[in-house]
Chain A
Amino acid sequence: MDPIIIGVAVVNGLMIGGIYGAVALGLSLIFGVMRVINFAHGSFLMVGMFIPYWLWKLFGVNPYLSVVVAAPALFFLGYMVQSVVIAPLIRRERALVLEPVSVLMLTAGLTWIMDNLALMFFGPNFRAVQLDFALNTIQIGILSMNVTRLLAFIMSILVAIGLSMFLAKTDLGRAIRSTAQNRDAAALCGINVSKVYNITFGLGCATLGIVACFMIPFYYVSPSVGLGFGIRSFIVVVLGGIGSIPGSILGGLVLGVVESVGGQFVTATSASLFSFIIFIGVLVFKPTGLMGKKV
């Protein structure tokens, strides 16, 4: 096969892979801190994509400006879902035998509610935001890159760096990390664990709000857009190691390249076969992921 075509496929894969990684950040953060798999992760992304879409459609707001609305809105939504729906379960879990699958089922129920409410109100159509410069490209050597995709890629990396800095440098970040290490010890040190959980869940969703605003200029949104991204996020998180932010980005890049290069050899729809094979391979042979530490 032509090395130039492969080269282009690799670059395209890296671009979309960065976004996969940024989408998976929230899932990784929430799992790392709360040991909870948020099955509704993709649905939060769907909500995050509808916000800039409707702001653009109804008021003509540039989707990149919608970040200031979408990120706080998603933070609030995540905060509420955690404190109202999931918190009672975690409180019960502390008293009784641990049932990790119950949270999984609970969030699976949330997925159905969110996706189908969107279906009821917005219909099943695919919608997209059209920007003037969405088709512009930047030429670097023989590679041409779409501007909106490049912006989304850069933003993805920035979100990951920002999240790492936040967790490393701020008091709240330290509280989140200590809660992740040992819930009870953190509580003994005076950390309000349930509040940290709410904030963590909100933060995980807020990252989706940012990424969603950068995706909508080139990615169609529909009520069912979440499932595919949700499953990809699980793959990314498992690949990169749960709770690891650099791992999440690295996992995303690997997945993006595999899908993109694999798509050159088989039909586009069966390219995701490769991701599932990698996923199963990693889970069975190295469940801690590429950059994960031993639990």
Chain B
Amino acid sequence: MSGAQISSGPAGSSKSLKYIIGIAVFALFLAAPLLITSEYILHILIMTVYFAYLAVSWNIICGYVGQLSLGHSIFSGIAGYVSVLLFIDTGLSPWIGMFIGGLFAMMVGVAIGYPCFRLRGPYFTLTTIAFAELVRIWLENTDEFLGVQLKGAMGLLVPLRGDAPALFQFTGKEPYYYTILAMLLIAMAITFWVERSRLGYYLKAIKGDQDGAEAIGVNSTKYMLTAMAISSFLTGLGGCYYAQLFRYINPERNMGIDISIETALMAIVGGQGTIIGPVLGAFLLTPTGELARSFFGGALPGLHLVIYGLVLVLVVIFLPKGLISPLRYLIRKGVDRK
């Protein structure tokens, strides 16, 4: 997997360098709201961390197994709707609602994964798109289902409760920032655990050669479904967070194919199948996109998506392992020189 673990000589110093960089970056992130005075910049940072979180969650199934899902928005959408509806109809705090939503997303993930994992390559991708579009179109055209008000394409507003931390509503942006930062760290810790567990080894074996892995007795469906359950649960939590951040949820924003593609894009550009890669991709692309949108959005609509597209094409052609691979090389080279 990572070169730093395999090479034995400079591994020690490479590892300590990694820790130093890690702690420094972490401290910087903790202090970020104190250093940033502009509400807008903080919002961009929140969106960046949010996409990093989604990309890390996506990566757990898609990065490690090597299948491309372009339908992950189904999980963020369903979980978001569950938590918002629970809050509107029963007054249940979204802090609890998001876990119920996550469980819903997980059930959907396993239910979809079971037939999908028999398909490979493009077939898998197309089926994930089809499921996500199916649910989105149904939601957009359904105002009421079993007595629950869904309000179709209009979407649902999260009722305002003022400064109510217990109900996941804050007046400032800082608490939202720390929430998503904590979620990102937890998702990365889970990825770290998956990578080093038996599950991670099985997944990598399946990615290398699924038939071969099955031939030596790896129950590929079982392990892929386990990874899918983790991934869809985490993505679901992200969807609930998104709904709370904007206090609004609708099928297009929370379940559209754009969110799925952007999530996959971040992970692939950064480096799928690694812990840091998806975060790196999100931190490169989200601010670039947001800035392009705010500076040129009026005169040149769509410029940020042209940039995304170009970066994606270049990375797929020249850096198939993502941006993380040259970065690793540089760090190792720096350590060797010492």
Contact = CB atoms under 8 A, between A and B. Distances in A.
Interface in A128-173: none
A99 B130 contact: no
B127 A283 contact: yes
Contact of A231 (B123, B129, B268): B129
B316 A102 contact: yes
A101 B68 contact: yes
Given A105-B312, A110-B309, A119 B301 contact: yes
A269 B140 contact: yes
Interface string A222-264: 0100010001001100100000000000000000000000000
Interface stretch (B15-23, B47-55, B114-122, B229-237): B114-122
Contacts of A284: 115, 118-119, 127
Given A101-B121, A110-B313, A273 B138 contact: yes
A115 B302 contact: yes
Interface residues of A, number: 46
A97 B121 CA distance: 13
B28 interface: no
A187 interface: no
A89 B318 CA distance: 9
Contacts of A88: 317
Nearest to A108: B261
Contact of B313 (A37, A113, A124, A238): A113
Most buried by B among A85, A105, A235, A283: A105
- B interface secondary structure, majority: helix
A120 B67 CA distance: 33
Interface in A13-58: 31, 37
A235 B127 CA distance: 10
B125 A104 contact: yes
Nearest to B68: A101
Most buried by A among B67, B127, B264, B303: B127
A109 B313 contact: yes
Interface stretch (A62-70, A72-80, A274-282): A274-282
Contacts of A234: 126
B310 interface: yes
Interface string B98-116: 0000000000000000010
Nearest to A89: B317
A43 to B, nearest CB: 10
Given A105-B316, A280-B134, 10 more contacts: A102-B320, A105-B68, A109-B312, A112-B308, A116-B303, A120-B301, A123-B301, A270-B137, A273-B137, A284-B119
16 contacts: A85-B313, A97-B208, A102-B316, A102-B320, A105-B264, A108-B70, A108-B265, A112-B305, A112-B306, A112-B312, A113-B309, A116-B301, A117-B306, A276-B133, A279-B130, A280-B127
Interface of B: 66-68, 70, 115, 118-119, 121-123, 125-127, 129-131, 133-134, 137-138, 140-141, 208, 257, 261, 264-265, 268, 300-303, 305-306, 308-313, 316-317, 320
